[in-house]
Amino acid sequence: MPAPTDAIADWRPTQAMAARFAGWAAGTEGSSRSSALIRIGLAVLFWSRWAGELLLYMDQSPAGLFLAANFFVATTLLFVGYHSRLAAVWTGSVGLAMYYYFGFELGREPWTHHHTLICWRSRRF
């Protein structure tokens, strides 16, 4: 028995695959341990790279103190996992401020290094 013609016309493999992938990505439940380990590792990576330069006594300007306080609060929340989505966005915005404003505008050349850019751009999840 041949297939109905309207079924053949509605068959779109790319859209069907995209819908199945979206359903799998958004609806699958599983262990969150891998996400937690990545989140903790990113916080430790940021501390190991920038914490020494952002200690509160290093830059006493209002902008430097504001940046340091935001950096440490955001990354601590990211490390602990308290409101981790908000903490990840907060950490990312602090990182962008570090890279573009403090790096390019204020001339902190080590913060504009290409490894720093890779580190900040790799956090898109």
pTM, full prediction: 0.64
| Average predicted confidence (pLDDT) for the chain | 77
Taking CA atoms, 69 is separated from 16, 56, 62, in Å, by 47, 8, 11
**Interval 75-100 mean pLDDT:** 88
Radius of gyration of the chain (CA): 22
More confident position, 108 or 124: 108
∠ Cα 36 40 42 (to 5°): 115
DSSP H helices, 1-125, are 5-9, 13-27, 33-50, 62-80, 84-96, 114-121
Query: Has residue 63 got a pLDDT over 50?
Result: yes
Asked whether residue 22 carries a pLDDT value surpassing 50, the answer given is yes
Check residue 125 and give its pLDDT.
45
